[in-house]
Each structure stands twice: as C-alpha cells, then as structure tokens.
Chain A
Amino acid sequence: MPSQLVAQVTRRLARRARWRPLEYVFWLAALASIFLFPGRHLILTEIAWLGLFALSLDLILGYAGIISLGHAAFFGLGSYAAALLAKHAIITEPVLALLASGACAAVLGFATSFLVLRGSDLTRLMVTLGVALIMREIANQIPEITGGADGLQGVIVAPILGMFDFDIFGHVNYAYCLSVLFVLFLLARRIVYSPFGLSLRAVKGNPLRAASIGISVNARLVAVYTLAAFYAGVAGALLAQTTAFASLDVFSLERSADLLLVLIIGGTGYLYGGLIGAVIFKLMQDWIANLTPQYWQFWIGLVLVLIVLIGRDRIGQWSGGLRALAEQVVRRIAPGAMSPLAGGSGKEVAGEGH
C-alpha cells in the first residue's frame, strides 16, 4: 500500500510541472507569428522583450510577493550595458553581450535586494522607485559615457552568432527576441516548479511559518530578486540591441508603472501572465493609438479600472471556463495525446493576481 501511495504522491507532485495543452498552443502560436505576420515584426519584437520584462516582474511579485515600482532600474542598466558593450566593441557578439548585460543588472539586483527584504508593500514600492530614480540620475550625470539626455548614439550591433544581421524590418530582431524569451521562459518554468520555487511560494504565503520550517527567507528573496534583475537586464539589452540605441527613458517611472500594468492585465503567478499581458497591452496601445492618438492613456486607464473592479478572480474563472472548453476541444481532436486536464490550472489563475 505505501508504495502505491508513494507512486501517487510522486505523480501528483510532478503533475504541476507538466506541460499543459494550452502551453503548446501558446508557443506554437508564437512560432507561427514569425511566418504569419512578417509585416508586424517590429511591434512583435516589442511584445517579446516587454513579455520578458514582465516575466521578470512576475518572478518577484507573483512568486515571492515583492512588489516593485522601480523594475526599470534593472531594465535600464541592461539596456545601457548592451549599448555600451556594442558601441565600444567590448563584447561584439550580441548573445554574449546579452548575458553580460543581464549579469550587470543581476549585480545591481543583488546589491539592492537587501533593501526590499523587510517592510510593507508601501516601503518596497518607495525603495524600488527610489533606486530607479537614482539610476536615472546617475545616467543623466555622466553624459560622456551615457550620452546624457541625448541618449547613447552610434551603437552598431554585430550579427547574432556572427551570422544573422539585424534588419530594419525587424525580421531577425523578432526571431532573436522570441528565442531569448523562450529559452529564459523555459529556465523560469524549471525554477518555479523546483523545490526552490515552491519555497518562494511558501515565503510569499507565510514568511513566519517558512522560517519555522527552516527556510532561510532572506536568502531565498535575495536569490529570486537577483534572478529577476538578470531577466529584466536581458529584456533591456534586447531593446538596446534591436534599436541600436539607449536613452534615459529606459529608467523612467512610467516604464516601471506600465510594467506593473502589463502584469496585472495578464495576471500574476502562473508565468504566462506577463507574456499575455504584453500582447494585450501592446496590441491595445497600437490599436487605440491608431483610432485616437491623443486618448491612449484614457483607454488604458479605463481598462485598468475595469480589471481591478471586476476583479481578476472573476476574469480568471471565465478564462478557466474557456480553457476547459479549449482543452476539451483539443482532446477531442487529438485523443490520447493530451494529459488529463489538471483541475488546478484554472483555479491557479483565479487564485492569484492581487
């Protein structure tokens, strides 16, 4: 009997990490978008790096409960690092430069993580906001390195892996950003379903109890904050590499605030929230801006208010229903190929996102 139970427990624990049908659909759609919308690659590129940036925020907010209004600090540092590495030909190969830029941001993340260990959400909002403001002012004060308010110009990005050159239509850019997003998504997915990832959720849920079962709460928070800073830095580096430019607005408060918006639109704590949020945010921005260029802010504000009023829980329930329907359809089309619908998937979305 016990061995049966052991097998059952192993199965149940593994279930959470199993790939769900809709995840395949999502990534196949992302892959297909390369070929289906060749004329939209510029905006798709923006969606890709914004999605990565939002994924980074999800790691700390959705999984560890750390709210931030200054995530642009890491994005901006990554952005300038990539631009400078390319401009001065320190690291010319973009992928390597990407990693180096992410590492720079990670160092900053590690150093500032100690500021967000304690305190309420309000303290964390203020501290993170402050760090981003400081970073912006530093960049502003050293124009001989950063170009100051004019931005860093004259950046020339070498071909990726020495083979693929960036083009003005954004074809290579998009494939590049999407690949980076996918690889880093896989890594994040691995991490959140690991014992480390589970312990983050425990820390978020009840730090007092987490410490009482031997979890070093601070060490876990420092680790995930550093990781998230790396992700944000890579996202910023992607922006710099695909536009061959970096300017002070990479550090702006608006960027951090928009990011929070993106993640809240998509929902926190299930990894896809940032990606879906980025798609919705950018497409909406593009669509509304075409209709009424002046009123973009009005509409996004309205959507935000509606989301908060209706409550993510209810939206989660709708999407849970849709998801169940979709998975049913998929299963009927391809019986046997599907894993059984996990009861948790819909609920997970509904339960998160505060």
Chain B
Amino acid sequence: MPIVLETKDLEKHFGGIAAVNRVSLQVEKGARHALIGPNGAGKTTVINLLTGVLRPSAGRILLEGEDITALEAYRRVRRGLARTFQINQLFLDLTPLEAVGLAISERMGTGGQWWRLVGTNPAVVEEIVEILERFHLTDAMHERTGNLPYGKQRLLEIALAIACRPRVLLLDEPAAGVPEDERHEILATVAALPADVTVLLIEHDMDSVFSFAGRISVLVNGTLFLDGPPEEVARDPRVKAVYLGESLDA
C-alpha cells in the first residue's frame, strides 16, 4: 500500500524540552493505524504538528507525497486531512445543523458566499441530513451545541471531521470522557468509517486499540519507540514494561 501520510525526523521543542523527537512515522493508505503511548508521550503534539496547529521545530510532513510542513491548518483540511480533538472544540452557540453545514460548504468552496442565505443550497442540505443521520444527531440537530449531552457532543466532534470528507482522519481519543455505556456508540461509529479513509487513532483503551488497529506505533517520551502490527506490539516485552506498566499504575 502507498504511504499517504509521512513525517520525517519531526521535532517539536517547548523551551528546552523535546516534546516530539525525531519522529518518522508512515501511515499507509486506507490503514487503521493507532498511535499509543503513556501520558505525556507527545501523541497530541504529533497530531497538532500534523494538522498545522503547531509548527515543528524541525523535520518535514508529507501528505500524499507533497510537503505540507509550512501549509496553514485550514489548507491542510482542504487537502483532505481532518481531525477531532481530545477535548471538545465545538461551536457552542451554533446548532449541530449549522456546524455540519459550515464544514460541508467550506469543503464545497461555498463557505465564503455572502449573497445567498444559509440553507438555500440543496447539495449542502442533503449532505447535512446524510451526516446527521449517520451520526444519530437528527434528534439533536436544532439544539444549541453547548446544551447537548457530552456523548452527543463527542459524536458531533467526529461528524464535523467527516463532513470535511477527509482522505486522512486523525482521531484524538474520540471516546475520551464518555461514560462506559455510551462508549460503544462512539467506537462503533469509528469502526464504521469508510474503508478508503485512512485513520490515525490515538486511544488509551487497549481493547479498542487492538480490536481496531491494523498497525500500531508506540510513542514514548516523544520518540517513536516501536512500530508494527498489533501482534508484534503486544508481544514486545519493552512495550509491556513501558506502556502497560504505566497504565497499570494509572
């Protein structure tokens, strides 16, 4: 499979601390790739570098072979790289309907139109409905996002990323903070993502990771520690020591 997303010796320093240190990661097209590691390993920093929220101190990022290291965040989205956030980043005063509509019209290039009213573009409306249905948000679509229950907000978090119709999707702990009985809905949604969408997942729950991922990269102290298929990672005694040991402590 061709490599769709790649980093080369990616580094990010905060002051004197190397949060991400010479990480060279390769994600194959259509992969279900998990990025795991103990707390503070730099996983979210890697996502922030990949999406352009942070600028790397050194190294390069390639999306479908093209260098996007200096590209602004919104341009990366337009090139097919979308993400969700570990901590909800939603438009609290808008309804899910409006938020999803925004993402869709932005992708279609009609988001800057000022001469037509919202909701007058049938193509956008049809897709809003499709996405809201897929994420079981139709009942809540007219509610102010800030008033939605947390589980629904988590779903909207993913729905917004999907509305960008990404070729590569970065999921930062999609089920974080969701009560146990609602987790399955989120994880089922993640599992049901179209096969042609490449997914890079950060997740703490090892059961989810091993049932979902076809490939796992382990990040420890900002360094890529190990990279391989789940069986290999599960077998590796060092991973058990570093990662599982840590998670047992926690």
Q: Which A residues fall within an 8 A CB radius of B?
A: 2, 5-6, 9-10, 12-14, 16-17, 190-191, 193-199, 201-202, 205-206, 208-217, 219-220, 223, 351
Counting from the closest, the 3 A-B pairs by CB-CB distance are: A13-B119, A214-B77, A196-B114
B99: nearest chain-A partner, CB-CB: A202
Contact (Cβ within 8 A) B106 A215: yes
CB distance from B128 to the nearest CB of A (A): 6
Residues from chain B with a CB closer than 8 A to the CB of A197 are 114, 118
CB distance from A55 to the nearest CB of B (A): 16
Kindly state the separation between the CA atoms of A305 and B72 in the bound complex, as whole angstroms: 43
Residues from chain A with a CB closer than 8 A to the CB of B85 are 209, 212
Contact of B114 among A9, A190, A208 (CB under 8 A): A190
Contact (Cβ within 8 A) A190 B117: yes
**Given A195-B110, A196-B114, A202-B94 in contact, is the A215-B74 Cβ separation under 8 Å?**
yes
Contact of B82 among A196, A198, A199, A212 (CB under 8 A): A212
Q: What are the interface flags for B102-140 relative to A under an 8 Å C-beta threshold, 1 for contact and 0 otherwise? A: 110111001111111111111001101110010000100
Residues from chain A with a CB closer than 8 A to the CB of B91 are 201-202, 205-206, 209-210
Q: Count A-B contacts at CB 8 Å.
A: 145
Contact (Cβ within 8 A) B102 A212: no
B89 within 8 Å of A (CB atoms): yes
Residues from chain B with a CB closer than 8 A to the CB of A194 are 113-118
Contact (Cβ within 8 A) B113 A209: no
Contact (Cβ within 8 A) B106 A199: yes
CB distance from B33 to the nearest CB of A (A): 20
Q: Which B residues fall within an 8 A CB radius of A?
A: 51-53, 72-74, 77-78, 82-83, 85, 89-94, 97-99, 101-103, 105-107, 110-122, 125-126, 128-130, 133, 138, 141-142, 160-161, 163-164
Residues from chain A with a CB closer than 8 A to the CB of B160 are 209, 212-213
Contact (Cβ within 8 A) A213 B163: yes
Residues from chain A with a CB closer than 8 A to the CB of B119 are 9-10, 12-14
Kindly state the separation between the CA atoms of A223 and B105 in the bound complex, as whole angstroms: 18
**Given A12-B97, A205-B94, A211-B74 in contact, is the A199-B111 Cβ separation under 8 Å?**
yes
Residues from chain A with a CB closer than 8 A to the CB of B130 are 2
Contact of B141 among A9, A17, A216, A351 (CB under 8 A): A9
Residues from chain B with a CB closer than 8 A to the CB of A190 are 114-115, 117
**Given A198-B101, A202-B99 in contact, is the A17-B115 Cβ separation under 8 Å?**
no
Contact (Cβ within 8 A) B78 A214: yes
CB distance from B13 to the nearest CB of A (A): 22
Kindly state the separation between the CA atoms of A220 and B99 in the bound complex, as whole angstroms: 16
CB distance from A10 to the nearest CB of B (A): 5
Contact (Cβ within 8 A) A196 B102: no
CB distance from B95 to the nearest CB of A (A): 8
Residues from chain A with a CB closer than 8 A to the CB of B114 are 190-191, 194-197
Contact (Cβ within 8 A) B133 A5: yes
Kindly state the separation between the CA atoms of A219 and B71 in the bound complex, as whole angstroms: 15
Contact (Cβ within 8 A) B83 A212: yes
Kindly state the separation between the CA atoms of A242 and B72 in the bound complex, as whole angstroms: 47
Residues from chain B with a CB closer than 8 A to the CB of A217 are 74
Contact of B113 among A196, A202, A210 (CB under 8 A): A196
Contact (Cβ within 8 A) A16 B118: yes
Contact (Cβ within 8 A) A214 B93: no
Residues from chain B with a CB closer than 8 A to the CB of A210 are 91
List 27 A–B pairs whose Cβ atoms lie within 8 Å, in order of A's numbering: A5-B138, A6-B125, A6-B126, A12-B119, A12-B141, A190-B114, A190-B115, A193-B117, A195-B101, A195-B110, A196-B111, A196-B114, A201-B94, A202-B99, A202-B102, A205-B91, A205-B92, A211-B53, A211-B74, A212-B82, A213-B103, A213-B160, A213-B161, A214-B74, A214-B103, A216-B72, A223-B112
Kindly state the separation between the CA atoms of A214 and B164 in the bound complex, as whole angstroms: 8
Residues from chain A with a CB closer than 8 A to the CB of B90 are 206, 209
Contact (Cβ within 8 A) B112 A195: yes
Contact (Cβ within 8 A) B120 A14: yes
Best-buried of B118, B160, B163 by chain A (most CB within 10 Å):
B118
Kindly state the separation between the CA atoms of A10 and B138 in the bound complex, as whole angstroms: 13
Residues from chain B with a CB closer than 8 A to the CB of A223 are 112
